[in-house]
């Protein structure tokens, strides 16, 4: 994404006055300005600033000491020019409040003037060559006779208003996008498991840290019956809103057809593939790992649809990988997969993850990798599953000191009892 240029604006213009409190009353009561701040600096100097209620001009009212060069600047032209869309209205308003004007508002013209460089630039003159635009001009004074210009140019005013409207529309569009993304984030958060079906022999937990406000990683825990739970993890192609929409589609398909998983997980996944294929674009797909854990037998039946191999870390430190049993879902109309099985013993830990875990990289370009993940599982295997997930993901995020580029999702299931 292209970086925005740094924000730049004038902080304040100093106006030298004799008495800050008296000047503050003038600017507030007679000009209708707002007090921006009234602070005491570390040096002991008081700093007061005022601004028009509908503008960004900030005037710092500075009271210099009598023996300083700044004291001699009190009562002179400030070179500050205020612009308004109606000089006459402002003239009458401020005159009624006792503001002194040096002259009645009058028309001035902006002309082209030829320069030695053979370039043309506009200059404010009473005479000149071809007319560019006209404007109303006058000068007013504050209570210390500091003078300011007050002008209105039709073209300038229109340009300022047009620019202000463009900024307002852009800010409103950005506000709406941010609001919609926040709503999408809240909706997607509700798609992740809100409770875990209780099992006596399996302690399990999951977590997803999204790289953006919404993402395409998916994990779920589905109660298949009183003694069985489905462990699901997936990774949608693409990122952002598009991936989040497909993630919700996959979530709905799995949840609505999970009853089929009782005896026919292959049929469940065929239905999920068909619906995902029909409801998404041609290039959309998802990797998916679906596991059915039966507490009575401690058997895990799984289908790995193009996803990263799950890691089964046994209590004796032997590692089994649950590799792919089929291709990705949603990319092909004609699709099928097979299933694999394994038995879990007390102390065995199953880790399901997305590539945001193993492909997280550090400042040297090194990936976190499968080996570091296995080492982290071994280090924390004696912790409860939720603490294991939290600590492993913390290690991944500490390893990835750069900006997170992909969703990080992890499920840990630990056989107990």
Averaged pLDDT of the chain: 84
Residues 170-198 pLDDT 10s: 888 888 887 777 776 676 666 677 778 88
* Angle at alpha carbon of residue 91, lines to 73 and 100, rounded to 5°: 40
DSSP 248-294: HHHHHHHHHHGGGGGT-HHHHHHHHHHHHHHHS-TT--EEEEEEEEE
In the chain, % of residues over pLDDT 90? 44
Domains of the chain: 9-74 (3.10.180.10), 82-164 (no CATH), 183-415 (3.60.40.10)
Question: Which residue carries 């506000």 as its tokens?
Answer: 175
301 vs 255, residue with greater confidence:
301
Residues 248-274 pLDDT 10s: 777 777 877 776 655 678 888 888 888
- 321 forms beta bridges with 311
Residues 340-386 pLDDT 10s: 999 999 999 999 999 989 988 888 888 999 999 999 999 999 999 99
pLDDT of the residue at 155: 63
What is the pTM assigned to this prediction? 0.59
Interatomic CA distance for residues 351 and 321, integer angstroms: 10
């Amino acid at each position: 994404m292209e970086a925005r240029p740094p924000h730049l604006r004038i902080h304040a213009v100093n106006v030298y006055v004799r008495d800050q409190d008296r000047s503050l009353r003038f600017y507030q009561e007679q000009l209708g300005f707002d007090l921006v701040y009234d602070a005491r600096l570390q040096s002991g100097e008081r700093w007061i600033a005022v601004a028009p209620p509908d503008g960004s001009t900030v005037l710092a009212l500075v009271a210099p000491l009598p023996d300083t060069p700044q004291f001699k600047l009190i009562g002179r032209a400030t070179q500050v020019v205020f612009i308004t869309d109606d000089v006459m209205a402002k003239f009458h308003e401020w005159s009624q409040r006792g503001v002194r004007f040096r002259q009645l508002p009058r028309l001035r013209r902006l002309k082209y003037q030829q320069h030695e460089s053979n370039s043309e630039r506009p200059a404010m003159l009473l005479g000149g060559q071809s007319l560019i635009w006209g404007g109303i001009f006058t000068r007013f004074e504050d209570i210390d006779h500091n003078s300011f210009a007050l002008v209105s140019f039709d073209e300038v005013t229109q340009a300022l208003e047009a620019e202000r409207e463009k900024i307002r529309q852009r800010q409103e569009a950005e506000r709406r996008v941010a609001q919609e993304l926040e709503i999408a984030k809240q909706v997607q958060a509700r798609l992740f498991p809100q409770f875990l079906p209780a099992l006596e022999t399996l302690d399990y937990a999951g977590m997803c840290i999204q790289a953006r406000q919404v993402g395409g990683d998916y994990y779920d825990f589905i109660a298949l019956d009183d003694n069985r739970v489905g462990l699901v993890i997936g990774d949608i192609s693409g990122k952002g809103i598009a991936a989040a929409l497909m993630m919700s589609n996959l979530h709905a398909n799995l949840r609505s057809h999970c009853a089929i998983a009782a005896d026919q997980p292959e049929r469940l996944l065929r239905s999920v593939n068909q619906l995902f294929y029909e409801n998404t674009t041609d290039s959309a797909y998802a990797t998916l790992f679906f596991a059915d854990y039966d507490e009575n037998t401690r058997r895990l039946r799984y289908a790995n649809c193009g996803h990263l191999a799950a890691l089964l870390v046994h209590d004796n430190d032997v590692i089994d990988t649950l590799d792919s049993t089929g291709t990705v879902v949603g990319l092909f109309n004609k699709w099928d997969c097979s299933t694999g099985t394994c038995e879990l013993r007390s102390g065995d830990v199953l880790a399901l993850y997305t590539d945001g875990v193993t492909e997280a990289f550090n400042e040297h370009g090194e990936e976190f990798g499968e080996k570091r993940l296995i080492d982290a599982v071994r280090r924390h295997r004696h912790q409860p599953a939720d603490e294991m997930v939290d600590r492993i993901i913390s290690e991944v995020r500490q390893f990835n000191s750069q900006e997170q580029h992909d969703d990080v999702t992890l499920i840990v299931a630990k056989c107990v009892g």
